[in-house]
Amino acid sequence: MLAFAAALAPRQGGEDGHRGVQPGHHVGERHAHLQWPAALARRERSGEGQHIDLALLDVQVASLANQAANYLVGGKAPQRMGNAHPNIVPYQDFPTADGHMILTVGNDAQFARCCAVLGHPEWAADERYASNPQRVRHREQLVTLMREATATRGTDEWVAAMEAAGVPCGPINTLDKVFENPQVKARGTRIDMAHALASAVPLVANPIRLSESPVEYRRAPPTLGQHSAEVLQDWLGASASELAGLRERGVV
């Protein structure tokens, strides 16, 4: 709901305007991790505390980044562009012979190298595409040409060639490919923990890495009511009869 309120999930034709993952909660907690240490630092200097206010709507509006800046400066609301960048071309997804890849060509030198890899160095000399402002102006024509070129070879082949030429590029993976990625495996992004209903349950690891005090994984996600007795009796002092009464009434 807040994502729609903050214009993070607009619909401009079609029905696929809803984001698969809502960013406000995840980005909000990261802002909180910066907010409370800042308040503690001020307390250490001044001896005074303060009220901390962090709203999900504010977080999501701030997350609009360059899209918000474009609107505030130019007064024109951004339209639906898929995965394309409003200010940089080419900076979007492209089809390949066996999937899709993402190209994030950030400057004119990278564009010239990209054109060479695609087998069309003449594009970099074309006045319509030689500079980024011109590429933005002629986005549709250029992207059409590039899509025709990228569709001739497989994703892995293109990614290897672009990386060798110093052009930012990567595959667009499905989740199965994400967890088969060698780097994802090497980083230990998947972990397995003992679980009450199975010998082990696969989970995504905490991305925080600390050399001297690594993150500890003490408990797997609990089943419904798994720790009710522990919390009520050990932490809150409920008696065995009180716990039994709660169970009889279906409270726990």
pLDDT tens-digit series, residues 3-48: 444 344 444 455 555 556 677 788 888 888 889 999 999 999 999 9
Same domain, 168 and 111: yes
User: Cβ atoms within 10 A of the Cβ of 118, count?
Assistant: 22
pTM for this model (two decimals)? 0.72
Digit-coded pLDDT (tens) for 131-145:
999 999 999 999 999
Residue 31 inside a domain? The answer is yes
Residue at 46 is within a domain: yes
- 69 and 100 share one domain: no
Look at residue 231 and tell me whether its pLDDT is greater than 90.
yes
Among 48, 74, 100, the domain-final residue is 74
Q: 9 with 61, same domain?
A: yes
> Which CA distances in Å does 70 have to 31, 73, 122, 145?
23, 5, 31, 27
Highest mean pLDDT among 76-85, 124-133, 171-180: 124-133
Query: How many domains, the chain?
Result: 2
CA 48, CA 40: separation in Å to the nearest integer?
Answer: 9
| 220 occurs within a structural domain | no
Same domain for 66 and 114: no
- The answer to whether position 109 is within a domain reads yes
For the ranges 136-140, 151-155, 247-251, the lowest mean pLDDT is seen at: 247-251
- 62 and 97 co-located in one domain: no
Q: What is the pLDDT of residue 196?
A: 84
User: Does residue 214 lie in a domain region?
Assistant: no
Residue 116's CATH number = 3.30.1540.10
Are 53 and 117 found together in one domain? no
Where does a domain end: 113, 143, 172? 172
149 vs 96: CA distance, rounded Å: 9
Same domain, 163 and 108: yes
Distance CA 196, CA 189 (A): 22
Looking at the fold, whether 131 and 161 belong to one and the same domain comes out as yes
Domain boundary among 142, 172, 202: 172
pLDDT of residue 27: 85
Tell me the mean pLDDT in the region 104-121.
98
Residue 47 lies in a domain: yes
* Residue 121 sits in the same domain as residue 166: yes
pLDDT given at position 12 = 47
- 56 and 115 assigned to the same domain: no
* 70/126 same-domain check: no
Residue 101 has pLDDT above 90, yes or no: yes
Which residues span the domain enclosing 97?
Answer: 91-172
Instruction: Flag whether 20 is in a domain.
Output: yes
Q: Is residue 45 part of a domain?
A: yes
Q: Confidence band (pLDDT; 50, 70, 90) for 161?
A: very high
**Is there a single domain that holds both residue 111 and residue 45?**
no
